[in-house]
Structure 1
Amino acid sequence: MRKSIYIFFILVNFFCTVLNAQFSPYFKNYSIADYNAGNQNWGLSKTANSQLYVANNSGLLTFDGIKWTLSEMPNKTVMRSVLHKEGRIYVGSYEEFGYWQKDEQGVLEYHSLSDLIKGQPFQDEEFWQITEWNDAIIFRSFFNIYIYKDDKIEIIHPPSTTISCHVVDNQFYVATLRHGVFSLKNNKLIPFITDEVLTEKKVSFITNYQNTSLLIGTALHGCFIYENKKLIPWQAPINTELKKYQLNNFSKNNDNFMFGTIQNGLYITNKKGEIEFQVNKENGLLNNTILGQTLTNDGKLWLGLNSGIAQIDMSSNLVFYNDSSGKLGAVYDIINFRNTTYIGSNTGLYYLDKENKLKFIAHSQGQVWDLKEINGQLFCGHNNGTYLVEHNKLKLISTHAGGWVIKKVPERQNIYVQGTYVGLVSYKKEGSTWQVKHLGATTNPFRFLVFENKSTAWAAHAYKGLYRIKFDVNYDSIVSIKNYSTKGLNSEYNVRVYKIKNDICFKTNEGWQKYEALRDSIVDAPILNNEFGKHAYVISEENENILSLKKELSIEFKSFNTINYQMIVTDEYLKNRLVIGYENISNFNDNQLALSLNDGFLITDTSKKVLNKKPLKPFIDNFKLNGKNRTLDHINNEDFKYKSNVSIGLTVDGAANHFFEYSFDTITPTKWIAIENEKIELNNLTEGDYTLYFRSNNSFKNPSEVISLNFNVSPPWYRAKTGYVLYMLLGLLIMAIFYFLHKGKIAKEQRLLQLDLEKKQAIILKEAEIENEKRLISIRNEGLKSEVKLKSKQLANNAMSLVKKNETLTNLKREFVLNRNSFDTELYQKLLKKIDGSLGQKDEWKIFEYNFNQVHEDFFIGLKKQFPKLTHKDLKLCAYIKMNMLTKEIAPLMNISERGVETHRYRLKKKLNLDKEDLQTFLKIY
């Protein structure tokens, strides 16, 4: 910090003779809307890890660099003082004092110390100051001094109203009204300064000065030097201001004093009391009343205001000119011409007088684009044309509107070319007069212009297009103009053209390219894309040594000559203050550059190499486990449950251009993950030992130191010892169950096997029984077949016997007929009748029919049913045919001739509806 402050004040020494209240170091305001509490902020205290605590009207304000939180006093009274010491935040208010401390859940909890006062009057006491000294915490009210040490309080009673307390070189001083200054020794007040000069004066601060003296500041009478027991006024320029605007508080660093006043903000002086800067409402401070201030180790000065809070960056090498009135408007160009600062804005042209008061140049209303010193004269490129600025007055020399940019022609004296709304214009100085001429050929608006050589230039259209232009020798006209938008240009929109190290380079919407003369085409420029970035663009290349770049979150200055030199103005200082698309860097003095802003400008010293600083390492300000706060001490000793949810809040010193990242692996850079809203949430954590790494980073990928956090997540009960015991018991139970189930299964299978065996035996027995029955049936069938065969044979034999009998009787009858005459007629008739009776005997047929039905069941019934017209004779013939009897065998049985049999056969076929089918074959089916 000391080195940064040293650089800051070397830059300040340049400005201290010319700058007044309008110039200031960078500061940032925090309004009531930001911290959402009371308007007045009486005291401030900063911790080692950059937490800010503020004594506010509404209670204790805490700022972690990102968010504000408010903790109210139990009695809801105004908090007047605050001091952080070793994890405790001591506070004082009306009739109450004590300290805040985080509980086991990480939540601030208030502990009152008022209860330690016994038997002492405490009415209307209000504690305005808290000081640390010799391991004691000392609370000051207007009436008493309260010393808190070893959980005890001792009260000191000054002889009159106590105005302030101060620790200087380990001595404790108490300033009173009317009785001077006392020193505290062995808890007793010893008179130290009793000079009448301090009588009735309110001492605001006491500090050492030049090693042998004390500097004592009073509210309305300025500062005094106390040396060799003498009190004399401090002969310093600041004293007049302090007497006029009422000194209220004080702080210092190695190089300067900071005086807070009631009526006119903050004065920053050197050790001699010479004013270098003033920060007040005129240049943007929210309020002119400084109620309290504290300076931190990182060079940040925090101010408690009557309405709001402010932070001043004392470590920056930037100086800002702010116009809080709004008259200036957005600045487009600045130039220091003949020791006068001229400022071109959207409202006109201004200059700063000797007292740095902003002055408007008459008749300059309108947009100023460009300020350039040419041949000892100041040119002003204006919306209305181009002017010469002489003795703070305007002289119009060109009516060509919109003088955007003007460049000198290489190797030519007194010839310049300007890009305007209406094309290119040449300027030639002849004697003391400038000859101005429009070069014709085009009226395109050219905003960017650069010379390739003395006869050729490149001009970029204000919105779309890129042109290569050749001029005649005298620069009276354009010889040729060629559109290079189709010569390899990645995008013809928003083209910017520059000359970088003798290369013609282009920045488009798609990145960087350059002109390749041998191929007369535009090619990609990977080196520039890698060095600058695809979206960065140059805002000034006029400085021969330094290139100024606009990047997404910063302005960078890169040296052409010094390796790795760069200076960065981060977004922390520029946020919402740049004139986007029209950013401009101007050479202000030998080593100073001025950057245009929308409400003023800033100046930086390029002779001081200031690399982008690493951000401060983060710290964990909040840890929640399953929605409940936990302190970090408890985290290291606690195992989290399985599937727990963890929320980790991070913070770092306020007002820094940073973001947070976390990783489970510090070796692999790609594993760093950005944290949104300064909080990381890990849900449903599985078991294991976790090590989380955190760091702050900035837009330049310049990370801070890494911090780590270790914790353990226990496995679920089913993967813990309890689970394994249960698994063992469950395993034994399962084994027992399986044993009994298996045993039961075997018994069941045995029963099933027995049943199956019995069933199979029953089936075998059944099958054997069936087989035996089949055998019996077969035997019976065989017997029946034999019986049928025997009966058929008997039937056939009977039929043959009958045939033979009938044949014999027929032959006998024939013989009787032949020998009729040999017998008596009566005898003949009698014998012939018996023979005929035997041939036609019905009983024989019945016997035959019965026997035939025994062999061929239902033969006659079936035929008769199907063919009801069959006669008795027909049935007989069917029976004889079925028995395969020949015609000659059938004829005697039917007592007809063989021809009669054939005739009967024919008639039978008709009755049976047979045509060609054999009668014997047909009858087999019955």
Structure 2
Amino acid sequence: MVVIPRNIFLPIALFLWSVGISQELPPIQNFSPADYSSESQNWAVSQSSQKLIYIANNKGLLEFDGARWTLYPSPNASILRSVKVVGSRIYTGCYMEFGFWEKDNVGILQYTSLSAKIKDQLSRDEEFWGILEFGDWIVFQSHNKIYSYNLSDDRVNTIDSETFVPKIFKVDRTIHFQKMGKGVFRIENGRDILVYDQEPLKTNEIINIFTSGRELLFLTRDDGFFRTNNGKLEKWNVPVDKLLSGISLYSGLQLNNGNFALGTISHGLIITDEYGNIIQQINQLNGLQNNTVLSLYEDLDRNIWLGLDVGISYINIGSPFRVYPDGKGLVGGVYASIIKDGRLYLGTNQGLFYKVLDTKEDFRFIEGTEGQVWSLSNIDDTLFVGHHTGTYQVIGNSARQISNVQGTWKVGSLENKQNLLLQGNYDGLYILEKVADTWRLRNKIDGFEHSARYFEVFDNQIFVNHEYKGVFKLEVKEDFSNVTSLNVDTDILGSNSGIIKYKGDLLYAYQKGVFKYDWNSNSFVRDSILSGLYKAKDYTSGKMLVDRKNGYLWTFSNTNIGYVTEGRLASTPTINQIPLTENIRNGIIGYESATALPENDHYLFGARSGYFTIDVQDFRENEIEVSIGSVQKAGKNRIETEKSLIDPTGEGKFNSEENSLEITYYVPDYSKYLKPQYQYRLEGIYPNWSDWSETASVSFENLPSGSYTFQVRAKMGERISDKMDSYSFKIARPWYLSNLFLALYIIGGILGSILIHSSYRRYYHSRQRKLIAENQREMELTKAQNEKEIIKLKNKQLQEEFKSKSNELAASTMSIIKKNELLTKVKEQLASSIEDKESVKPIIHVIDKNLNQNDDWELFKEAFNNADRKFLKKLKKAHPNLSPNDIRLCAYLRLNLSSKEIAPMFNISPRSVEIKRYRLRKKMNLEHDDNLVDYILKL
């Protein structure tokens, strides 16, 4: 580059700053090296038919699809100097290398060298700075050679130059180039032919060559434009010459509309019309990130791309938006604007500013208005300013304070009261009065002490909206001295709400919609049509504005600016929306402003810093073409490589472990303010569309096996793309769910079921047997237990019977003993007391007979057998030689009766009983020491 002393550019820089800073600029989007992750310098720009942008960068080839940047390193790690898209190929040139890039089946650019076939023809240290398409030929230009490469047969023609060749140009059907010191040449039949050798085309570097009818127009680095006139070269004297005479150009481009874009070395971008009149100067002070423009390109949507010495920018030159950026903070945040007497006034947080319309001058401050301006009102051709310090009247470029009551929100007119005005302040309502053509504060309306930012007047009724307290309805005296009645509607209140009079109706707007006041019910009723201006979830501000020029009703939401116009075929209002989101328009929420400009349907909107304008009739949305950019295998442990990329145009087939995918998509639209939003669904698992989002990628993890179709669509503003892009794929079942294994599972299941059935059968049979055995054991135990219980009961019964029999036996024995004792006593008495023995002898005989008879024994024997049945049998078996009396004695002894008790039983004396016992021992062969009674008891 040519180095020029800095002091030469000082006056020009000051001029550019003073002119450029006051301009309203088209939207400018800047990308720093950090944004595209590469080096700073960008030498050339081109675009594909799919609208993808390609840029030659110091580090390699940059690709931009509107959503993301991709860097393809230079094939030999040198600086990429040139790029040109031709069909599906992207041709590039760098140090000692030129060739082309093409996308493979997964969307990755792969490089093919063309210069490798002619390595021996390359000059030492050649760099390729220019590429042109010319039929079947691709022309590559270095600073000392031109190579024409034939794509059909790989032939290469070369044109050598003994002097420096800056650039090549395609002019109509020929290729022109400049040889420094010799002039301008064109190529015919592979040979270079001198066309112009006049100054300055020999010594001043040509930036570009344009056509003007049959003539040529030359743009030089240092001397501006020259043109041919019937074969003669002459200076093209245009208004921009004065500016160009002191600066150096590096790039130049004629736009499709005939205007010229001129890239300078140190003064940014200059745009002129086709006659050389300056339209705009865009530099580092008012929008660009760098003042050195290395390359220029106009894309298919009329955007101008700038390859800068530091970064990349594009300008939406055809956008309906224009921005006054106020990068220096000259005016600040714009709260109100108005046009009066050919001047544009801005009320900001720093004061009141103005500029004359249709001039290049910047805004000027009106002295005495320092501080916050809340409103600007033109009432009966008088401009009033609502200010934090009071109320001002503006005349031209000066202001006079007419009220010093702090905090004037708004000044409004009163119906049929030409000499009175109503103003809302921080602490209530006040009346201004015109006396002898001078406005002054007359009085405060007593009875209302609330902030009155929004108010509307209907005869002697005043409606005041307070966002935290509701809508007040005041009735005042005819002279507006005090409030006669006050009612407040608290059913509708909300943050940033607002009221306005529109076509005779009172409207109220807050999050739930737009409401209209019903005079019959004295309440607000929701207006279904006007509520279509915004959705509840998009609500940010209820501020409403009516412009005096066209009568449009303006509203502001999070996603758009809405305005209402009259219906063309009916009285129903028409809802219109400009899809400009809150974060892009950078508005002051709750303090939005809109002003109609002199140009038809041009409007100015305030922002936190400066303002922007919109041509609402020129607002248009381009065709939306959404495309899937890449499909990549994903997963937490997967490394991103080219091997993980999948062809997005075919049908994908993945293994079961490859069930996580990342899909990217894009809309190649480069409008700064209209960002595309995307919506997707995955048929097969997620049939519903996702929420709209600006995120241009989505990841799916751990998808189950099956068939899927991914679909994506886009919208810009409120327009949804007519077409969508899709990608179908299948995820195979895991190996353990393959057909073979499923068959094995079925066979195994059948065999298993048989084995299980058999096992269960054996198990249940065994269990059944065990249960039967257990039941039998339980039954036997129960039976034994029952028998035991029965035996126990029987034993108890026997015991009871034995006890009873024993008792009977005892009773019987005692009865016999007592009877015998009695008879014995009677006999003894008879024998001793009666002298006549013969007379009692029969009685004694009867007694003896009774004592000796066996009837008592038989009775006793029966009772004894019942009580101790086995004893007598055992006794007879053990001692068969015993006599009946012996047995009888044994029975008595068994009862453990004494000899004295036994004697009456035998009707003998106790001594005789002892003898009987002795004899019984003998018969039983008992030893001397054996106890007879014990033996009998044990028997």
The answer, yes or no, to whether TM exceeds 0.5 is: yes
Secondary structure class of the residue paired with 1:231? strand
- Aligned position for 1:877: 889
1:621 aligned partner, one-letter code: G
- Aligned position for 1:329: 332
Q: Deviations over 1:369-397 (max 9, x none)?
A: 22222332322222222222224122121
1:364 deviates by: 2.1
- Aligned position for 1:496: 498
Secondary structure class of the residue paired with 1:92? strand
- Aligned position for 1:263: 266
Secondary structure class of the residue paired with 1:241? helix
1:605 aligned partner, one-letter code: D
- Aligned position for 2:353: 350
Q: Deviations over 1:27-64 (max 9, x none)?
A: 12222343333222222222233322222233333323
Residue identity (%) = 30
Q: Is the 8 A contact 1:131 1:137 kept in 2?
A: yes
- Aligned position for 1:787: none
Secondary structure class of the residue paired with 2:81? strand
- Aligned position for 1:369: 374
Structure 2: how far apart are the matches of 1:468 and 1:634? 64
Structure 2: how far apart are the matches of 1:77 and 1:249? 22
- Aligned position for 1:660: 678
Structure 2: how far apart are the matches of 1:874 and 1:258? 162
1:651 aligned partner, one-letter code: Y
Q: Which moved more, 1:570-579 or 1:58-67?
A: 570-579
Q: Deviations over 1:542-572 (max 9, x none)?
A: 4453111101022223313447856544446
Secondary structure class of the residue paired with 1:263? coil
1:741 deviates by: 11
- Aligned position for 1:282: 285
Partner residue of 1:230 out of 232, 240, 250: 232
Q: Is the 8 A contact 1:22 1:323 kept in 2?
A: no
2:456 aligned partner, one-letter code: V
- Aligned position for 1:380: 385
Q: Is the 8 A contact 1:212 1:227 kept in 2?
A: no
Q: Is the 8 A contact 2:377 2:412 kept in 1?
A: no
Q: Which moved more, 1:434-443 or 1:547-556?
A: 434-443
Structure 1: how far apart are the matches of 2:157 and 2:166? 19
Determine whether 1:616 maps to 2:628. no
Cα distance change on mapping 1:510 and 1:561 into 2, 3 Å: closer
Cα distance change on mapping 1:259 and 1:570 into 2, 3 Å: farther
Partner residue of 2:321 out of 294, 318, 321: 318
Secondary structure class of the residue paired with 1:404? strand
Determine whether 1:555 maps to 2:561. yes
- Aligned position for 1:241: 243
Determine whether 1:597 maps to 2:612. no
Partner residue of 1:179 out of 168, 182, 205: 182
Q: Is the 8 A contact 1:464 1:494 kept in 2?
A: no
- Aligned position for 1:161: 164
- The within-5 A match list for 1:741-756 is none
Secondary structure class of the residue paired with 2:376? strand
1:444 aligned partner, one-letter code: H
Q: Which moved more, 1:453-462 or 1:298-307?
A: 453-462
Q: Is the 8 A contact 1:547 1:559 kept in 2?
A: yes
Determine whether 1:116 maps to 2:121. no
Q: Which moved more, 1:70-79 or 1:180-189?
A: 70-79
Partner residue of 1:529 out of 528, 531, 537: 531
- Aligned position for 1:447: 453
Q: Is the 8 A contact 1:381 1:404 kept in 2?
A: yes
Structure 2: how far apart are the matches of 1:462 and 1:892? 133
- Aligned position for 1:831: none
Q: Is the 8 A contact 1:163 1:202 kept in 2?
A: yes
Structure 2: how far apart are the matches of 1:859 and 1:603? 146
Q: Is the 8 A contact 1:695 1:705 kept in 2?
A: yes
Structure 2: how far apart are the matches of 1:573 and 1:259? 34
1:596 aligned partner, one-letter code: G
- The within-5 A match list for 1:613-692 is 613=621, 616-626=624-634, 627=638, 629=642, 633=647, 636=650, 638-642=652-656, 644-653=659-668, 654=670, 655=672, 656-664=674-682, 671-674=689-692, 677-692=695-710
Q: Is the 8 A contact 1:162 1:177 kept in 2?
A: yes
1:57 aligned partner, one-letter code: N
Q: Deviations over 1:744-801 (max 9, x none)?
A: 999x99x99xx99xx9xxxxxxxxxxxxxxxxxxxxxxxxxxxxxxxxxxxxxxxxxx
- Aligned position for 2:13: none
Secondary structure class of the residue paired with 2:665? strand
Structure 2: how far apart are the matches of 1:602 and 1:858? 142
Q: Is the 8 A contact 2:217 2:227 kept in 1?
A: yes
Q: Deviations over 1:327-372 (max 9, x none)?
A: 2211112222211222221112222254322222222211122222
Partner residue of 1:707 out of 725, 732, 743: 725
1:144 aligned partner, one-letter code: K
- Aligned position for 2:90: 89
Cα distance change on mapping 1:417 and 1:904 into 2, 3 Å: farther
Contiguous gaps of at least 5 residues in structure 2: 1-18, 774-868, 879-884, 918-935
Q: Is the 8 A contact 1:165 1:173 kept in 2?
A: yes
Determine whether 1:433 maps to 2:438. yes
Cα distance change on mapping 1:41 and 1:464 into 2, 3 Å: farther
Q: Is the 8 A contact 1:40 1:304 kept in 2?
A: yes
Q: Is the 8 A contact 1:662 1:695 kept in 2?
A: yes
Structure 1: how far apart are the matches of 2:402 and 2:687? 59
Determine whether 1:484 maps to 2:498. no
Q: Which moved more, 1:421-430 or 1:381-390?
A: 421-430
- Aligned position for 1:61: 62
Structure 1: how far apart are the matches of 2:396 and 2:760? 118
1:729 deviates by: 7.5
Cα distance change on mapping 1:270 and 1:901 into 2, 3 Å: farther
Determine whether 1:148 maps to 2:149. yes
Cα distance change on mapping 1:327 and 1:254 into 2, 3 Å: closer
1:118 deviates by: 2.9
Q: Is the 8 A contact 1:80 1:92 kept in 2?
A: yes
Cα RMSD (Å): 4.3
1:615 deviates by: 6.3
Contiguous gaps of at least 5 residues in structure 1: 1-17, 760-851, 862-872, 906-922
Q: Deviations over 1:677-730 (max 9, x none)?
A: 321222333444432221112453634531222233334445545446656886
Structure 1: how far apart are the matches of 2:185 and 2:666? 42
Structure 2: how far apart are the matches of 1:499 and 1:373? 16
Q: Deviations over 1:191-236 (max 9, x none)?
A: 3333344121211111222x33322211111112234323222232
Determine whether 1:136 maps to 2:137. yes
- Aligned position for 1:12: none
Structure 2: how far apart are the matches of 1:743 and 1:375? 106
Partner residue of 1:203 out of 203, 206, 219: 206
Q: Is the 8 A contact 2:629 2:648 kept in 1?
A: no
Cα distance change on mapping 1:25 and 1:516 into 2, 3 Å: same
Q: Is the 8 A contact 1:490 1:510 kept in 2?
A: no
Q: Which moved more, 1:76-85 or 1:722-731?
A: 722-731
Secondary structure class of the residue paired with 1:484? strand
Partner residue of 1:250 out of 244, 249, 252: 252
- Aligned position for 1:694: 712
Q: Deviations over 1:67-117 (max 9, x none)?
A: 333333254333222223344433323333334444455444444444222
TM-score by length of 2: 0.73
- Aligned position for 1:11: none
Equivalent residue pairs, number: 775
Q: Is the 8 A contact 1:23 1:283 kept in 2?
A: no
Determine whether 1:213 maps to 2:215. yes
- Aligned position for 1:44: 45
TM-score by length of 1: 0.74
1:584 deviates by: 0.7
- Aligned position for 1:408: 413
Structure 1: how far apart are the matches of 2:755 and 2:582? 81
Q: Is the 8 A contact 1:463 1:495 kept in 2?
A: no
Structure 1: how far apart are the matches of 2:301 and 2:877? 137
